[in-house]
Amino acid sequence: MRYCNACGHGVDFRVPEGDHLERHVCGRCGNIQYINPKVIVGVVPEAEDGRVLMCRRNIEPRLGLWTFPAGFMELGESSGQGAVREALEEAQAEVEPLDLIAVINVPYVSQVYLIHRGRMLGTHFGPTLESSEVRLMREDEIPWDDIAFPTIWHSLKFFFADRQIGRYSTHTLDLKFRPRPPQRAEVSGGNI
């Protein structure tokens, strides 16, 4: 970041008075440009027969690996609204958002994941620009070794474990270590 987003003047990278972290501070108008973590919203869409909707990524990163609909939260929307939007954008699926199944902190990339359960409304779904393939899967069909991100892997595990015992709750998890590539070795090792 080189220029002030308020006045266009050059910025300094320094600790503002009364703060404790370095920020981009404008040398002319004093505007401070804060950079904060990003929120990713997602949904595990469940069909009437209990299968969940999975998408094969058609975009980098993790091209060709599997996820449920999830993406960056937009300004002005709730996590549930974002989850609904992602299901439409990535899987052409209409989903009703239910409670959060997972809140996952990923400090090594400054991200927070808010993952909802969701109920599929209707039976329509299909591929999109972001998903080369969209499929309903039973638990035993989930490609655990080919899941795109550890956050997605853990959220699915929480979902199926809760469904198994018939009681859903919101699970919180802090991921401490950046997985080493390749992702699939990390996931199948179960040490993430």
Asked if 67 contacts 153 with a C-beta cutoff of 8 angstroms, the reply is no
Q: Which is nearer to Zn ion, 25 or 134 (CB)?
A: 25
φ and ψ of 31, to 5 deg: -60, 135
Q: How many angstroms separate the CA atoms of 64 and 148, rounded?
A: 8
Torsion on CA atoms 154, 36, 80, 123, rounded to nearest 10:
-60
Quote the CA–CA distance of 20 and 28 in Å, as a whole number: 21
Q: Which stretch binds Zn ion (CB under 5 A): 31-39, 66-74, 132-140, 180-188?
A: 31-39
**Which of 6, 63, 109, 121 is the binder for Zn ion (CB under 5 A)?**
6
Q: Which is nearer to Zn ion, 7 or 161 (CB)?
A: 7
Q: What is the rounded distance in angstroms from the CA atom of residue 95 to the CA atom of residue 84?
A: 6
Considering the complex, state which of residue 10 and residue 107 has its C-beta at the smaller distance from Zn ion: 10
Strand 52-57 to 131-137 pairing: antiparallel
Q: Does 26 bind Zn ion (CB under 5 A)?
A: yes
Minimum CB separation from Zn ion for residue 7, in Å?
3
Q: Does 4 bind Zn ion (CB under 5 A)?
A: yes
- Asked whether position 9 contacts Zn ion by CB under 5 A, the answer is yes
Size of site (CB under 5 A) for Zn ion: 8
Closest CA to 152 of 37, 49, 52, 76: 52
Q: Does the footprint of Zn ion cover residue 29 (CB under 5 A)?
A: yes
Whole-number Å distance between alpha carbons of 79 and 70: 11
- Provide the minimum distance between the beta carbon of 25 and Zn ion in the complex, in angstroms, as a whole number: 9
Window contacting Zn ion (CB under 5 A); options: 28-36, 53-61, 129-137, 140-148: 28-36
Please state the closest distance from residue 29 (CB atom) to Zn ion, in A: 3
Contact call for residue 1 and Zn ion (CB under 5 A): no
30: left (phi > 0), else alpha (psi -120 to 50), else beta? left
95 contacts Zn ion (rule: CB under 5 A)? no
Task: Note whether 31 binds Zn ion by CB under 5 A.
Answer: yes
Which residues sit at the interface with Zn ion, rule CB under 5 A? 4, 6-7, 9, 26, 28-29, 31
